[in-house]
């Protein structure tokens, strides 16, 4: 079994280095054709202490925002129950389940776009998939819970692997992110996750300095060597606040600039709070960068 998995892993890396296309990823009833356009992921924060001030306190509020995002053209929705801002107090599995599962259950029968669950806890991920989620988004890239890769393999769902340096800050950020993401990809392949179901995220804002965050966006194209679609999450983040000296609710233009530059650098998905405006930014950026 191990030899078979290792051969599959080696074949996947050879495919990545050959420069072949990213192919397609199936997520529920949706197929993402990477490279044709940029896909927009709408953020649904069901945590009261979200850094961006957009926390949703009730299931009805989350459903209403999700429907608005769908009406605005969003391609996927990401439901998260625990704040990921620096120094946020962790919550229990039971509390995260209480926040996330009712929202996923309601949305699974109401919206046509795929639902992602933003969690690094195995039980929350498992229950969310049972409730109707179709994608996993792990901000720790399997560092906290390697079993998420096995879960993604068993349920045949895509998994987003983020590079997070909050546990160990580094000096040379791009090589560190590349190494960390390769580690997470290898773990996923070894667990049986299909190559096509792996998505990577450099983790802007997670254990990086302002200069490192800016450098990651500037050098995003270097992540293409990994051979997998790239998700970029810069929406309303502190690097924008530090540059512009503005609170989260006033970071729209800064977000737009970072997303446009990210798309030029190879972003395949952008994770955003302001769907309507960032759909427009993505469409215009695609017209220039992809010629579509």
CB atoms within 10 A of CB 121: 23
Structural domains of the chain, with CATH: 37-287 (3.20.20.20)
Q: What is the pLDDT of residue 52?
A: 47
Residue 158 CB contacts under 8 Å (≥ 6 apart), including other chains: 25, 27, 134, 135, 136, 152, 197, 198, 199
Sign of the CA dihedral running 264, 268, 271, 275: positive
User: Measured between alpha carbons, how far apart are the two ends of the chain, in Å?
Assistant: 44
Whether 237 is catalytic is yes
How far is Cα 42 from Cα 257, in angstroms, rounded to an integer? 18
Q: What is the pLDDT of residue 89?
A: 79
pTM for the full predicted model = 0.92
Structure tokens at 1: 């079994």
Q: Nearest Cα to 213, choosing from 183, 173, 179?
A: 173
Q: Which of 127, 228, 251, 271 is catalytic?
A: 271
Half-sphere exposure of 275 (CA within 13 A, CB side): 20
Residues of the chain with pLDDT below 70 are 1-20, 49-55, 292
Structure tokens at 185: 């990809």
Q: What is the pLDDT of residue 202?
A: 98
Q: What is the pLDDT of residue 87?
A: 74
How far is Cα 91 from Cα 251, in angstroms, rounded to an integer? 28
How far is Cα 170 from Cα 172, in angstroms, rounded to an integer? 6
Q: Which of 127, 236, 237, 251 is catalytic?
A: 237
Whether 228 is catalytic is no
Secondary structure class of 225 (helix, strand, coil)? helix
How far is Cα 40 from Cα 48, in angstroms, rounded to an integer? 24
């Amino acid at each position: 079994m191990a030899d078979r998995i290792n051969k599959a892993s080696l074949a996947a890396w050879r495919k990545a280095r050959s420069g072949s296309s990213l192919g397609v990823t199936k997520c529920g009833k949706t197929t993402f054709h990477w490279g044709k356009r940029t896909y927009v992921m709408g953020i649904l924060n069901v945590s009261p202490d979200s850094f961006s001030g957009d926390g949703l306190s009730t299931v009805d509020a989350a459903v209403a925002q999700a429907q608005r995002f769908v009406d605005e053209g969003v391609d996927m929705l990401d439901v998260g129950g625990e704040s990921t801002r620096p120094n946020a107090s962790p919550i229990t599995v039971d509390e995260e389940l209480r926040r996330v599962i009712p929202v996923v259950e309601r949305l699974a029968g109401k919206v046509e776009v795929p639902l992602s669950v933003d969690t690094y806890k195995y039980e929350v991920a498992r229950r969310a998939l049972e409730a109707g989620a179709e994608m996993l988004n792990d901000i720790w890239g399997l560092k906290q819970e390697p079993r998420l890769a096995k879960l993604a393999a068993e349920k045949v769902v895509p998994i987003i692997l983020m590079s997070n340096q909050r546990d160990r800050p580094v000096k040379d950020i791009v090589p560190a992110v590349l190494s960390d993401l390769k580690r997470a990809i290898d773990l996923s392949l070894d667990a049986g996750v299909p190559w096509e179901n792996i998505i990577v995220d450099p983790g802007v804002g997670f254990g990086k300095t302002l200069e490192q965050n800016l450098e990651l966006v500037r050098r995003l194209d270097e992540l293409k060597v990994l051979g997998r679609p790239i998700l970029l999450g810069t929406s309303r983040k502190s690097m924008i606040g530090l540059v512009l000296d503005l609170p989260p609710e006033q970071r729209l233009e800064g977000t737009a600039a970072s997303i446009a530059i990210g798309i030029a650098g190879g972003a395949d998905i952008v994770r955003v709070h302001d769907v309507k405006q960032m759909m427009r930014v993505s469409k215009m950026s695609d017209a220039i960068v992809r010629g579509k």
